[in-house]
Amino acid sequence: MGIRRQKVYFCHHCHKTMESSDTLMLVEEEASRCFCSEDCIMGFYGPRNDYFDLNAQRIRAELKLPEKDKLLQYKNSEEKIKQTLEEPDEVWEQENEVGEVYYTHLKEFKVGTSSFWMIIICFHFQEEPSYIFLTEVTNSKELVNYYRSEEEFSLIQYEADNEPPELEIPTEILESVELKKSNFLALLLQSRDESDIEYEKFFLYEKNTVTTLEDPDEIFKHRDEENDTLLTYVKSFPEDNGNFFYIVVCMKVDLDSSADDDVLIPIISFPSTDPNLYMKYATGERISGNIKN
- Give the interface with Zn ion as residue ranges (CB under 5 A): 11, 13-14, 16, 36, 40
* Amino acid in position 211: T
* Between 40 and 91, CB nearer to Zn ion: 40
Query: What minimum distance in Å lies between the beta carbon of 286 and Zn ion?
Result: 48
* Between 41 and 91, CB nearer to Zn ion: 41
% helix, strand, coil for the chain, step of 5: 30, 30, 35
Name the DSSP class of 267: E
**Count of CB atoms situated within 10 Å of the CB of 185:** 14
Residues 6+ apart with CB under 8 A from 29: 101, 123, 124, 125, 126, 127, 207
d(CA 128, CA 86): 8
* Between 17 and 154, CB nearer to Zn ion: 17
* Between 12 and 60, CB nearer to Zn ion: 12
* Between 25 and 282, CB nearer to Zn ion: 25
Query: What minimum distance in Å lies between the beta carbon of 36 and Zn ion?
Result: 4
Query: What minimum distance in Å lies between the beta carbon of 186 and Zn ion?
Result: 35
d(CA 182, CA 38): 34
* Backbone phi and psi for residue 132, each to the nearest 5 degrees, phi listed first: -100, 130
26 beta partners: 34
* Between 36 and 106, CB nearer to Zn ion: 36
Query: What minimum distance in Å lies between the beta carbon of 52 and Zn ion?
Result: 23
* Between 40 and 197, CB nearer to Zn ion: 40
Q: What are the contacts of 225-229 at 24+ separation with CB within 8 A?
A: 226/176, 228/176, 228/180, 228/252
Q: Furthest-apart CA pair in the chain: how many Å?
A: 75
Query: What minimum distance in Å lies between the beta carbon of 130 and Zn ion?
Result: 17
Query: What minimum distance in Å lies between the beta carbon of 51 and Zn ion?
Result: 22
d(CA 233, CA 220): 7
Name the DSSP class of 163: P
Query: What minimum distance in Å lies between the beta carbon of 37 and Zn ion?
Result: 5
